[in-house]
Amino acid sequence: MATLLLSAGLFLFVSYLCLISFRRLSVQWRVRRRIRSALRHNRLEIRLAKTRPDHLLQIYRHVYDSALFESRSIRFKSPARREQYISDELNRMIRHPLLSAFFSLMVLVKGLLAILLLVMSFSIGAVMLDEFKTAPLALPSLSQAEEVIDAFLVSDDHGPSFTFKNETAAVSPLFQESGGTYPEHVMNAKQLGQAMSYHMKAFEPRFQITYQGNPQDFEQTFKRAVSWTERNDPYHARTIERYAYQYVDHGTHVECEVTMKYRLTNEENALVNGKIKQIAKSMPKGLSDFEKVKYVNDYIVHHTAYNLKSKASPYTPYSILLNGEGVCEGYALSSLLLLKELGIEAQYISGTARGELHAWNLVKLDGKWYHLDTTWNDPIPDRGNVIGYDYFLIPDERMKKDHKWNEADFPKTAEAAYL
């Protein structure tokens, strides 16, 4: 609410400055136009009277009277203020002819400033509107309305409601994550990707791979191998903050050394695996696949607050599941791990939403795919047990309204929402 009031005050202040700037610009431009018109009508007399100061003064007096008369429609605080303003503008234009262009430029600058202030006021207005939409209705007189909204967001129309208790049980770390099968030979991009994934699952900071394929296009093969890991092992691929590699071409094979920096440690990953098991074990028994998906959505939204400046890396499930904070990538990866643990086929999607980088999931139910965006189902600012369902099991067409992704890389969804 404080942010909302601050945004509203700033919006009103900038709007006020914008109105003042437009007013001053309009007055100056209209007055100077009338003075120029009067000077043009008298330019011959002014030219002939340049050697006769007394006569020239009379002509300028006539110009002044004409501009004053033509400016009677322009509003001023008083007639005296009108007369003084026109006199000042006339003096600037006739006594400083070399600065005439400068004053014209000042009019343009004022116009641009007014436009800038107008844009700022609209921008602040948009921020204020977003704050109003997301701000909790904390006023006592609106408490009933807030309860109605919250009841709608968690209504039974979206399936069963779940009650989540505060979890106090310690998480048992699971270190026995399988590294998968290391390929017998590494001769193409897929096998190179499998070998990399094997080492990534152990969070090895440096490892070597012997590539036995064609060494001439190894750099392109390595890039395709990285793409393979992103498609087939998105969790571990997304835990990488950055990587580098160097290789030696021995003619018959390539010795490649890869160095990686991860966003979490092997120990933190073990805690993530333990937390996934703990959440799955605490889930009510006998749920359908749909209810399992809803449980995952509700659990993550209920326990997480969107926060880019989290204690741990906000892009990881460790930050989401162990600290209760993070950003879209952490939301989507946590959803992916939980869904797979529950036996639900799911995929990780990276794309954009309203022009910003974003991540979410595809979920397969009853043989059809649907979009699930747990990040956008989580109200901002965080409202505890209030859960949204605007992006819960929806088709491509609805998702395309504000999300973009490489559709060729992912299966098409059902034509209608699941619910």
Closest CA to 291 of 337, 331, 343, 336: 343
- Cβ burial of 359 (10 Å; 0-12, 13-18, 19+) is buried
Within 10 Å of residue 265's Cβ, how many Cβ atoms? 12
Neighbour order of strands in the sheet with 346-353: 392-394, 368-372, 356-365, 346-353, 403-404
- One-letter amino acid identity for 247? Y
Mean pLDDT for the stretch of residues 202-229: 95
Task: For the chain, state the CA radius of gyration.
Answer: 34
Backbone angles phi, psi at 196, to 5 degrees: -65, -45
Most confident of 59-73, 120-134, 260-274: 260-274
- One-letter amino acid identity for 358? H
Q: Which residue has the higher pLDDT, 308 or 380?
A: 308
Q: Cα 376 vs. chain centroid, distance in angstroms?
A: 11
- CATH class entry, domain 189-262: alpha beta
Q: Which residue has the higher pLDDT, 33 or 107?
A: 33
Q: What is the dihedral of CA 208, 213, 214, 217, to 10 degrees?
A: -50
pLDDT of 305 > 90? The answer is yes
Q: Please state the domain extents for the chain.
A: 2-131, 189-262, 269-409
Q: What are the CA-CA distances from residue 147 to residues 138, 151, 222, 295 (Å)?
A: 11, 6, 55, 22
**Stated length of the chain:** 419
pLDDT band at residue 139, thresholds of 50, 70 and 90? very low
What per-residue confidence (pLDDT) applies to 177?
63
Q: For the range 195-200, what are the long-range contacts, defined as Cβ-Cβ under 8 Å and sequence gap of 24 or more?
A: 196/225, 196/226, 196/229, 196/258, 197/229, 197/232, 197/233, 197/236, 197/237, 199/258, 200/229, 200/233, 200/236, 200/237, 200/239, 200/240, 200/260
Q: Which residue has the higher pLDDT, 165 or 190?
A: 190
Third-level CATH fold of 269-409:
C8orf32 fold (3.10.620)
For the chain, report the end-to-end CA distance as a whole number of angstroms.
34
Q: What are the CA-CA distances from residue 174 to residues 239, 244, 271, 276, 277 (Å)?
A: 17, 29, 6, 10, 9
The rounded distance, in Å, linking the Cα atoms of 372 and 391 is 6
Under 8 Å between Cβ of 328 and 360:
yes
The rounded distance, in Å, linking the Cα atoms of 148 and 145 is 5
pLDDT of 144 > 60? The answer is no
DSSP 389: -
Helix (H, G, I), strand (E, B) or coil at 252: coil
Query: Strand 305-306 vs strand 325-326: parallel, antiparallel, or unpaired?
Result: parallel
pLDDT, the chain, mean: 83
Q: Give yes or no for a cis peptide into 381 (omega within 30° of 0).
A: yes
pLDDT of 22 > 50? The answer is yes
Q: Which residue has the higher pLDDT, 104 or 13?
A: 13
- One-letter amino acid identity for 42? N
Backbone angles phi, psi at 15, to 5 degrees: -65, -40
